[in-house]
Amino acid sequence: MTTPKKTGTEIELHGDVFAAAAAHLADGSVPFSLPTDALLGGEGPAADMLAATSLDELDNLAAQETQPLEEYEGAKLRVLSLKVLPSSVEGGDLPFYLLASCETLSGDIVLVTIGGRTPMAYLLRRQSLGGIPMEGDRYLVFSRASKATKGGYHPWNVRVVKGDDF
């Protein structure tokens, strides 16, 4: 286990960030700050939790679970933010995936993982054009193509709809 090095009013963490934090919290003698870049390169849900600035923000982050895009196929989603994260999928053809914070038609906020080329290309381009966060009554609907490719894959389609469409 890593032991935090105490330096004045903070500690310096080396090695396993979680082990160091747990050891320090058990000790409780010195306030500390966790550098978010020490965890997953400063990206992802755990890093967001470490960067929370209020208990409300932390509790909201803790309540969110990620779901794959397949769970929201056909649903209306308004994309609020995007993060590009490194992929650990063995044999995947892309080294990254997207984590999208989305609002459903009912107003729920959900975290969606997206790995398909077409949805990723659309969302990354939309973001580069200033279209994220999405505003107004426009939503995205993601669906699988009914016809498979020669390799047996059903590509994703992206459609922009208004809140009251279909």
Tens of pLDDT, residue by residue over 66-109, are 899 999 999 999 999 888 888 887 777 788 889 898 999 988 88
pLDDT in tens, 27-78: 555 444 444 444 444 455 666 777 778 887 777 777 667 899 999 999 999 9
The answer for residues whose C-beta is within 8 angstroms of residue 65's C-beta and 6 or more apart is 111
- pTM confidence score: 0.63
Percent of the chain, pLDDT > 70? Answer: 69
- Residues 111, 152 within the same domain: yes
Residue 114 is part of which domain span? 66-162
Domain boundary among 62, 90, 110: 62
The answer for residues whose C-beta is within 8 angstroms of residue 147's C-beta and 6 or more apart is 154
- Residues 101, 56 within the same domain: no
pLDDT of residue 11: 40
Max intra-chain CA distance, the chain: 64
- Residues 29, 98 within the same domain: no
- Residues 79, 129 within the same domain: yes
- Residues 42, 74 within the same domain: no
Q: Which of 55, 58, 6, 1 is nearest to 31 (CA)?
A: 6
